[in-house]
Structure 1
Amino acid sequence: MKKKLEFMKEEYMRLNASEELKARVAETMNKQGNKHFTLRRRTAGLAACIAVLLIVSLNVSQSLAATMADMPGMSGIVRVLTFGRYAVEDKGFHADIVTPHIEGLLDKELEEKLNNDFKEYADSVIAAFEKDVKELKEEFPDSEIHYGIDSGYEIRTDNDKILAIDIYLVNTVGSSSTTHKFYTIDKASGKLITLKSLFKDGADYVSVLNSYLVGEMKRQNEADLNMFWVDDPEMGSFESIRQDQNFYINEDGLLVICFDKYEIAPGASGSPEFVIPEDIIRDIRK
């Protein structure tokens, strides 16, 4: 992972700034650029000179609300809403952070937990951004720094069985890193689906998925379709997914395994996703 972060930093060090500023930005990226994007909670506001537009409103996504109104097994008033939006534009500093909010799930405990997760995540991103901006402006008052955060949500699947939401975060410092958190909901039960819950009890789904993923990465590398870090002496090799690896179920009902930017490949590969053929997991899937 250290070598992967070094590779990432080389990409954004093309930033037109002093060597001192580059070092400071590199420090910021080290704190924020790993695949878990460790965020620091902080409630302090930006310095007075930063122009902040903070919109806290409940804006219904009308098209999505309409399509969700008749979901089987769920309340007729289920909606995905924009709970709040935080936006900053100040010279080279940029932030656009959108917080989603779900209403109408049958499982009210899950609904509350998801909405708390969404809000706490957005709050932590805002706090980290404000602290970094304040520190950078104090240390480099005469330098223009290009530093941005974009966070929001995308509906990946919305059919009669599955609702899948992707909460994404793009951190831009010359180049950019991207992290994702997926939530996949079974509409019939109103429950959150975990990767483990898709498979039979005791099934070694991690090994089965790893075998397919390694083979697919090598196939794409050999075909010059990608540059995955597998059997790579310099960048290390992909070894295994986590038991709680990011995933979602697509519109065709297929499992999609997801990785963050720079997690298994250079930045040019974006955030890789692998659609798992049904025959690969048919024998172990519930």
Structure 2
Amino acid sequence: MKNLEELRRLQEIHAPEQLKERTLAAIEQGKEVIDMKQLRRKTRRRIATAVTGVAACFIVAVNASPAFALGLADIPALGALARIVCVRSDIYETADSTVTVSVPEVQGEQTDRVNQLIDEQVKAYEAKAAADLAEYKAAFLATGGTEEEFAVKDIQVKVDYDVKYQSDAVVSFGLTGSQDWNANTVERHYYNLRLTDGSEITLKDLLGENWVEEANTQIKHQMDVHDGASEMKYFTAEEGGFQTVDENTKFYLNEQGQPVVVFEKFEVAPGAMGEPEFTLDLTR
């Protein structure tokens, strides 16, 4: 009899109405999250088609009409585009990621070699991103994750560029590849070019015959000033830190036309210091 009474009591217990409402709301919210991700994917596909069409029209206008190009050069926000035109702006999806690519083309004399190099580096980064993502996915699945959970991450892979400096004769810009799941996947390339013949501008061109000594002196001085004022220090030479600049040292020209040397993360300093930059004074 006692067991029967307990059974009846249990049957009379009902979940509070608020709990039911909250549970249903949580389920609906989960559905909305999934629906929004699907909507964003569809929207990106539509935008990709539109952007590609706009970029193509812009290129035709610049290449076909010198007057149009000259008009753009007079507009501060668009002046750089008269020299550097985005020839491919594309968004496409893989099974586990969304890839956004904006590839520049340099407009000038004898710039085919540069544009080919840009295209090769972009393709190389896309291939690297695919390999990185495959490795990440394999590790995710090996630790208990599911295909569905990984797909929800919607990894973003981006290749983009930004103009650093431009004049009638010179242009400097950067090309950046990134993956939002890992900050260590960022890659940067810099281009400093003469528009008259497409030739590359070097640190030697800017600093003179003693460019190595001059650049090293300025960089080491700036490091010393920083280390004297901050608890986070640059690596010493014994720790594998900065030794010297060379022909492969990355740099771009800032808005004043000064060279800015850039080191990769962990190259000369702890990762928390990011990618250290050093502006070199050309008036010394």
Partner of 1:276: 280
Give, in angstroms, the shift of residue 160 of structure 1.
3.7
Conservation of the 8 A alpha-carbon contact between 1:178 and 1:261: no
Query: How far apart, in 2, do the equivalents of 1:67 and 1:176 lie?
Result: 41
The aligned residue for residue 228 of structure 1 is 234
Structure 1, residues 194-220: CA drift from partner, whole Å, max 9, x if none? 2233344xx232122112211211211
TM-score (norm 1): 0.61
Classify 1:67/1:236 alpha carbon distance in 2 versus 1 (closer, same or farther; 3 Å): farther
Query: Which of 248, 252, 275 is the aligned partner of 2:256?
Result: 252
Q: Is the 8 A contact 1:95 1:150 kept in 2?
A: yes
3-state SS of paired residue (1:215): helix
Q: Which runs of 5+ in 1 are unaligned?
A: 1-49, 71-76, 281-286
1:253-275 deviation per Cα after TM superposition (whole angstroms, max 9, x unaligned): 32221222332223332322211
Task: Name the counterpart of 1:127.
Answer: 127
- Which of 242, 247, 250 does residue 243 from structure 1 map onto? 247
Q: Which residue of 146, 149, 161 corresponds with 1:153? A: 161
Question: Match of 2:186, SS?
Answer: strand
Give runs of aligned pairs for residues 1-150 of structure 1, distance below 5 A. 53=45, 58-59=55-56, 60=58, 69=73, 78-88=82-92, 93-103=97-107, 105=108, 107-108=109-110, 111-134=111-134, 136-137=136-137, 140=141, 142=146, 144=149, 148-150=156-158
Identity %: 21
Do 1:260 and 1:272's aligned partners in 2 also have CA atoms closer than 8 Å? Answer: yes
| Correspondent of 2:188 among 180, 191, 211 | 180
Q: CA deviation at 1:250?
A: 2.4
Give the TM-score normalised by structure 2: 0.61
C-alpha contact (below 8 Å) 2:163/2:173 kept by paired residues: yes
- Take 1:100 and 1:277, find their aligned partners in 2: how far apart are those partners? 29
Higher helix share: 2
Decide whether aligned partners of structure 1 residues 216 and 266 sit closer, same or farther in structure 2, where only a CA change above 3 A counts.
same
Relative distance call for 1:180 and 1:101 in structure 2 (3 A) is: same
Aligned residue number for residue 207 of structure 1: 213
Between 170-179 and 261-270, the greater mean CA deviation after superposition: 170-179
Residue 113 of structure 1: CA displacement?
0.9
The aligned amino acid for 1:151 is V
- Structure 1 residues 150 and 261, CA, compared in 2 at 3 Å: closer, same or farther? farther
Residue 246 to residue 137, structure 1, CA distance change in 2 (3 Å): closer
Q: Which residue of 1 aligns with 2:19?
A: none
Choose the corresponding residue for 1:219, options 221, 225, 232.
225
Partner of residue 3, structure 2: none
Pick the structure with more strand per residue. Answer: 1
CA contact (8 A) 1:68 1:78 kept: yes
User: Greater CA deviation, 141-150 or 122-131?
Assistant: 141-150
Alignment CA distance shift 1:185-1:175 (3 Å): closer
Flag the structure with larger Rg.
2
| CA RMSD after TM alignment | 3.7
Q: Which residue of 2 aligns with 1:263?
A: 267
Counterpart check, 1:165 vs 2:173:
yes
**Residue aligning to 2:15:** none
The code of the aligned residue for 2:279 comes to V
Q: Is the contact made by 1:257 and 1:274 (CA closer than 8 Å) also made in structure 2?
A: yes
Q: Distance in 1 between matches of 2:120 and 2:167?
A: 28
Change (3 A) 1:182 1:241: same
- Contact 2:86–2:103 under 8 Å retained in 1: yes
Aligned-pair distance for 1:154? 0.4
Encode CA deviations 1:143-165: one digit per residue, 9 max, x unaligned. Answer: 64565432211000023443111
Distance in 2 between residues matched to 1:67 and 1:242, nearest whole Å: 40
1:79-133, CA deviations, whole angstroms, 9 ceiling, x for partnerless residues? 3222223435679744322211123x1x22xx11111111111111222223443
SS at match of 2:242: coil
